[in-house]
Amino acid sequence: MFTLQNSIILGLILFSIGAYGVLTRRNLLVVLMSLEIMFNAVNLIVLAFNYFRFYQQGKELGHYFVLLVIAVAAAEAAVGLAILVTIYRNRRNVDSDELTEMKG
């Protein structure tokens, strides 16, 4: 049940859900949330690898990496939200279908 293979499959399923959300959802807030799911799926995979393959050998690089990913994902989310707020101020909605300023 709780094995390397299953954890990675779970991580990949989460990653695919996130990717699907980014590509198909129209509400930009949901798109940002899907991006967070993708980042956290990767965290899960790194932690699974770390726990099952390297932790017994005393290596824990994966843990540090996950901390960095969490911090960076937060920074990205904050910037994304800030940009969304500016867009909302300018056009009163956050629908990706309405963002068509550039064509060609």
Partner 1 sequence: MKENYFPILIYSIVVIGLALSFLMMAQYFGPRRKSKQKLEPYECGVEPFDSHRRKFHVKFYLIATFFILFDIETVFLIPWAVTFKEMSMIAVFEMFFFLFILGIGLIYILKKRVFDWD
Partner 2 sequence: MNITTLNGILPILILTGVGLLVLLVEAFIERDRERRFAFILSLAGIIATLVSLFSQLVHHDADLLLFGGALIVDHTGLAFSIIICLGALLVLILSHRHVTRIHRNAGEFYSLILFATLGMHALTISNDMMTFFVSLEVMSVAVYILAGVNRKSLKSNESALKYLILGAFSTAFLLLGIAFVYGATGQMGFMEIKEALLSEANAPFQSVGILGLILIMVGFIFKIGAFPFQQWVPDVYEGAPSIVTAFMATCVKTAAFAILLRGLFTFFQADESGFLMSALTVITVLTMIFGNFMALIQSNIKRLIAYSGIAHTGYILLAILAALSDPAKPDITPILFYLLVYTLMTVGAFAVLIGASRGGEEVETFEDIRGLGYKHKLLGLFMAFFFFSLAGIPSTAGFMGKFFIFKAAISKELYALAVIGILTAVVSVYYYLKIVVYLYLKEENRRYEKYSIQWNYLLASFLTFLLVLFLGIFPQFGFKLLK
Residues that bind partner 2 (CB under 8 A): 8, 11, 15, 18-19, 22, 28, 31-32, 35, 38-39, 41-42, 45-46, 48-50, 53-54, 57, 59, 61-62, 64-65, 68-69, 72, 75-76, 79-80, 82-84, 86-87, 90-91, 99, 101-102, 104
Q: Which of 35, 46, 32 is nearest to 94 (CA)?
A: 32
* Nearer CB in complex with partner 1: 89/103: 89
Q: What is the DSSP letter of 97?
A: G
Burial of 48 (0-12, 13-18, 19+ CB in 10 A): buried
In whole angstroms, what is the distance from residue 100 CA to residue 58 CA?
A: 52
Q: Which does 81 bind (CB under 5 to 8 A by kind): partner 2, partner 1, none?
A: partner 1
Q: Which does 74 bind (CB under 5 to 8 A by kind): partner 1, partner 2, none?
A: partner 1
Residues binding partner 1 (CB under 8 A): 1-2, 67, 70-71, 74-75, 77-78, 81-82, 85, 89
